[in-house]
Structure 1
């Protein structure tokens, strides 16, 4: 079956006073129908820029999709005009933003904000759109939908506002939803409720999801496939169980080591990833993680490693996966011992 979304060698740059920032550097991945892909990585690695590129939301005055392809059901999105993008957003691809307090319009009532998408894309009358909006509010778990319809964003809690954001993204039944860190601003209890809600709605509607996050706990809960990003590039990708059970890139290992694990009778120190990400004004010629990697070799600094495949879905870009690497056996064993 052909993927719903195919991203191939996507590159996005921004023009700034200091020069060109190469925010996304050759990112490739695909998403199938009904599947959840999690894109994980540190802040500044290019996750949100990738998401905005998929929605055609790179500001033209400062940013540009330099090259690459984004195909949705075989249609090339990078060539769409502004008017064509308006037909795609909401109706075919929806987006849940990171902070609902800033993504919702503070001057408009909740109901009006949801209904306008139904009126624009599904050509409903105001009465039909209101009726559908009330059903959506109930569907995402908001009580007293008729009263909430007339309220403004500031009158709702953070969890309620995020539910409104989900309702807006689902309003026109898009085939793909991009969720940009949808639980970051919420407490742990509400996070669990929002994740459960997203999973239930996905199963009901067979919607594909791209989840942008830095929380590996969230990834373990909802993802089918995972793409690990670092310095604007995907350094490892595979099925969720492959990434957690057999990480093949030192950055992926570092992310996993920095997450607390619950094990009876065991006390373990968290292991931080030392150093800072590279300057994307002048990206390194070799592996972007080499300066922070305890396994780095001379070749890592000079040449970008090719992607090595370990299954039909799992691949990683690291010179330590080359059988000629002097530490290869110890490296592979260390990864398996730590996470198996």
Structure 2
């Protein structure tokens, strides 16, 4: 499959009164046509900043794209002026935000919000766009679609508002949809419905998806590939099968162990990773996960590990993969 999106060595900072916050540090990954890629990690690890950088939605200043490329069909988006980016946003690349209530305009009818992109990008008349809007609402499973066009966001439930957001994202048949924690604000039953819907629509349209989430259960349900981020960096990546069956980075292992399991002893405590992420005003010189890692070695504190291929398509940024660290690596495998 061809690479639809390729991010190369992306570095994004925020200039604050306290100094430069290095929010994204050397992130590189690619998304193929029709592929669903998850970006996972704790809050503050740089997931959403990376996603918003793709569409250049970060306000500059304080945001600053320090280095790197964001190639969409081989064209670097970072140097593009705002008028060119407006042709891409909502048309070729769409975004589904975390909270639909704050993303939808509360003073505008759902129908008007649905047809905005169709009129702007596809140059449809209002009448034809409204017909298309009805089809979009039906497609995402909203009953009585025609009458619902006249309603306002507050007249919809949380799950229905998220379906409207998906309909808006699909309106112009984009090649890439970025979903930033689209199920976080929903209860478990509605989450399952929205995920099933996204999976179904992706197969029907062959649209690529970048899913930003901290819920690894969601990843297993929807995605093909996983990018694990920590402290603004990619620490591990690979297929869903590779990451779930054989996580190799201690941070990824910690995330996996913190997932509740049906076969767990109810009396046992759920695993949690000790400590806190580093201060990105002054990132560590060596491995960012060093202070929290139970397998940390002296080299981890002083030298930064590179992202290296460990097996198949799986890459990991950890000194445990070095030939001289085989004894420590054996202990990790034993503990897993």
The aligned residue for residue 126 of structure 1 is: 126
TM-score (norm 1): 0.96
The within-5 A match list for 1:157-168 is 157-168=157-168
SS in 2 for 1:20: strand
After TM superposition, the runs of 4+ consecutive aligned structure 1 residues lying more than 4 A away are: 264-268
CA distance in structure 2 between the aligned counterparts of 1:98 and 1:266, rounded to whole angstroms: 32
Tell me, which stretches of 5 or more residues in structure 1 are unaligned?
Answer: 336-340
Task: Give the aligned CA root-mean-square deviation in angstroms.
Answer: 1.2
The aligned residue for residue 83 of structure 2 is: 83
The aligned residue for residue 233 of structure 1 is: 233
Q: Which moved more, 1:143-152 or 1:173-182?
A: 143-152
Per-residue CA deviation, residues 183-237 of structure 1 (Å, 9 max, x unaligned), is 0000000000000000000010000000000000001111100000000000000
CA distance in structure 2 between the aligned counterparts of 1:66 and 1:105, rounded to whole angstroms: 33
Indicate yes or no: 2:113 matched with 1:95: no
Indicate yes or no: 2:326 matched with 1:328: no
The within-5 A match list for 1:193-204 is 193-204=193-204
The aligned residue for residue 5 of structure 2 is: 5
- Is the CA contact 2:2–2:33 (under 8 Å) kept in the aligned structure 1? no
The aligned residue for residue 205 of structure 2 is: 205
Tell me, which stretches of 5 or more residues in structure 2 are unaligned?
Answer: none
The aligned residue for residue 55 of structure 2 is: 55
CA distance in structure 1 between the aligned counterparts of 2:172 and 2:318, rounded to whole angstroms: 42
Per-residue CA deviation, residues 145-189 of structure 1 (Å, 9 max, x unaligned), is 122101111111100100000000000000000000000000000
Task: Using the TM superposition, give the Cα deviation of residue 311 of structure 1 relative to its aligned residue in structure 2, in angstroms.
Answer: 2.7
The aligned residue for residue 262 of structure 1 is: 262
Task: Using the TM superposition, give the Cα deviation of residue 144 of structure 1 relative to its aligned residue in structure 2, in angstroms.
Answer: 0.9
The aligned residue for residue 295 of structure 1 is: 295
Task: Using the TM superposition, give the Cα deviation of residue 263 of structure 1 relative to its aligned residue in structure 2, in angstroms.
Answer: 2.0
CA distance in structure 2 between the aligned counterparts of 1:73 and 1:259, rounded to whole angstroms: 37
- Is the CA contact 2:310–2:321 (under 8 Å) kept in the aligned structure 1? no
- Is the CA contact 2:118–2:171 (under 8 Å) kept in the aligned structure 1? yes
CA distance in structure 2 between the aligned counterparts of 1:302 and 1:109, rounded to whole angstroms: 56
SS in 1 for 2:168: helix
Indicate yes or no: 2:217 matched with 1:223: no
CA distance in structure 2 between the aligned counterparts of 1:334 and 1:207, rounded to whole angstroms: 39
CA distance in structure 2 between the aligned counterparts of 1:142 and 1:301, rounded to whole angstroms: 53
The aligned residue for residue 115 of structure 2 is: 115
The aligned residue for residue 33 of structure 2 is: 33
CA distance in structure 2 between the aligned counterparts of 1:232 and 1:105, rounded to whole angstroms: 31
**How many residue pairs get matched?**
335
SS in 2 for 1:324: helix
- Is the CA contact 2:228–2:236 (under 8 Å) kept in the aligned structure 1? yes
Task: Using the TM superposition, give the Cα deviation of residue 333 of structure 1 relative to its aligned residue in structure 2, in angstroms.
Answer: 3.2
Per-residue CA deviation, residues 278-301 of structure 1 (Å, 9 max, x unaligned), is 000000001100000000111101
Task: Using the TM superposition, give the Cα deviation of residue 268 of structure 1 relative to its aligned residue in structure 2, in angstroms.
Answer: 4.5
SS in 2 for 1:26: strand
Task: Using the TM superposition, give the Cα deviation of residue 267 of structure 1 relative to its aligned residue in structure 2, in angstroms.
Answer: 6.1
Per-residue CA deviation, residues 101-143 of structure 1 (Å, 9 max, x unaligned), is 0011111111100101000000000001100001000100011
